[in-house]
Structure 1
Amino acid sequence: MRYVTTAGVIALALGLSACGAGGNDSAAANGSPFGDCIITGEAGSSPLNLISDGVVTVKADLPSPGWYNGDTVESIKSGFDYCLLANIAHRGGAKGLNLQNSSFDGLVAGKAGSFDMALNQITITPERESVMDFSDPYYESTAGVLVKKGSTLTQSDLADSHLGVKQGTVGQMLVDKTIKPAKAPAVFPGDAEQQAAVAAGRIDAGIQDLSIVLGASVQSGGKLTVVGQIPTHESYGVMMPKGSANVVAVNKMLKEMKDDGTLDKLNSTYLTEAYGVDPTTIPVWSF
């Protein structure tokens, strides 16, 4: 069974910038330590080495609808990445999750402090692997081109346009190394800032993961749209501190969840209903 692909299913994944750091011990009203998630597999079958006994400490740029559902860090109790983490914690012998907010660029640069793992639609790249460890891929990604509704932007216009990127993302690397626009791109600290600049016409287009910009389009109420997707041949992985003792265990769990249908179930539960458009209808732009 192959893992979930962006070309097949796209998420409502507008990465909102949360206000300040926070934590979430994952205790839901229904008494489950893992919120609304459906838990599969055998508890403790692949033990994890954790910095806090019995709890998986997670850092991410939170919340992120479709991936981490909720208005605040404290209210998150479902979503693709959240429930994948819940299943990892369960199979790893943990009794809960401690979610902590972190800037994305600090996270992928290895400057987010102490944590066990991070799932944040993080693309595996050689630069990131030099400072952090990654699991095997669990989700394929491409980049999307987000524009203001009514824009006439085409593939041939892109390199001569004023583009916007989120700091530290694969979108930024794609613009700098592949698209190579004539004008230096605007760099934003978060997705919300990038998307606001597109909507206001301060930039011609925002380049970010296709899953995220499709989510932004849905959330905008018709103000934004996605006009193209750019293959990156990249994938999301579970990120862990360099030298983590948990890489082997996490890879074992991911394989089991691919084989037993857990990843497909997470996809159908949290992502399929969210993207609002068939991604295969979005033109592929090659550079």
Structure 2
Amino acid sequence: MSLTIKNLTEPALLGEGPHWDDRQQALFFVDILQYTIHKYVPATGAHTKTKLDDTVGFIVPVDGTTDQFIIGLGKRFVIIQWDGAEGTPAKIVRELGTVDQDVVHKTRINDGKADPRGRIFAGTMGCEDHLGKVVPEQGSLYRVDKTGIHKLCSKIGLSNGLAWDLNKKACYYTDSEEGKIRRYDYDVDTGEISNIKYIFDIEKSDVSGILDGMTLDSDGNLWVAVFNSSSVVKIDPETGKILQRVPIPALQVTSVTFGGPKLDVLFVTSGSMNRGTAQEPPCGSTFMVTGLGVTGLPSTNFKY
């Protein structure tokens, strides 16, 4: 099967946080800067969205429901109710807490997803003085579970990609400002991470751009969106080598996840923020990549 790349949705300003919900056979994602959450159903092509009142860093369904989601709304973790219909308002049904209350500079929740046990890992980033210039070391990485909200690490510039490998007891994490992918020892029973080391440095590779969202395939390899590079790269986390580069027809590639009935489709979000030249469609679209010859791991919903 040959590699095929197809754009699925109308352009977003900053599409992010794709999450495949196996129960609904639907892709959920956000447009951070447009304050919107989105649902896309590949079987029908239906694409719906609704708007909130602040930046939305991520969206993950609440396990056992079809209309409740945990989102990062500004600096708050909240659970909302949304029926998935176009324009239907999303109602906040529970506030779980506000983070970074002790930070002088403005921050917001950026990327986030559920670990294999359904806990939410999500981080914050410093405000942007102007597009692409983030106030450094203002953010933190948090874990949200039934016991509350826990800070896992601080002095983060731009919190981004997350992935877990249970076989290797590893948690992978990216602070985009570092330009590196971190590996932590991961305890699946407690959700604790420890013993940081770096397994990839973009400055030492032949790829230029900014490391963004990522996911893991069933072979244990990382698929990483590279912002400002029009590409997704496949990385062996054991050697740090780039195994494959997938071209995406958008400059600002933001995140990736596997989905579809067989988990063999790579969904890719992107942005269309203007950096001096027009970001014309399909920039900002969500893309579907088929024919990669690999499968992903199931996304986990939030278990609370």
Q: TM (normalized to structure 1)?
A: 0.29
> Quick check: which has more Rg, 1 or 2?
1
Question: Which structure's residues are more often helix, by fraction?
Answer: 1
Larger RCO: 1 or 2 (CA < 8 Å, sep 6+): 1
Q: Hey, which of these two has a bigger chunk of strand by percent?
A: 2
TM-score by length of 2: 0.28
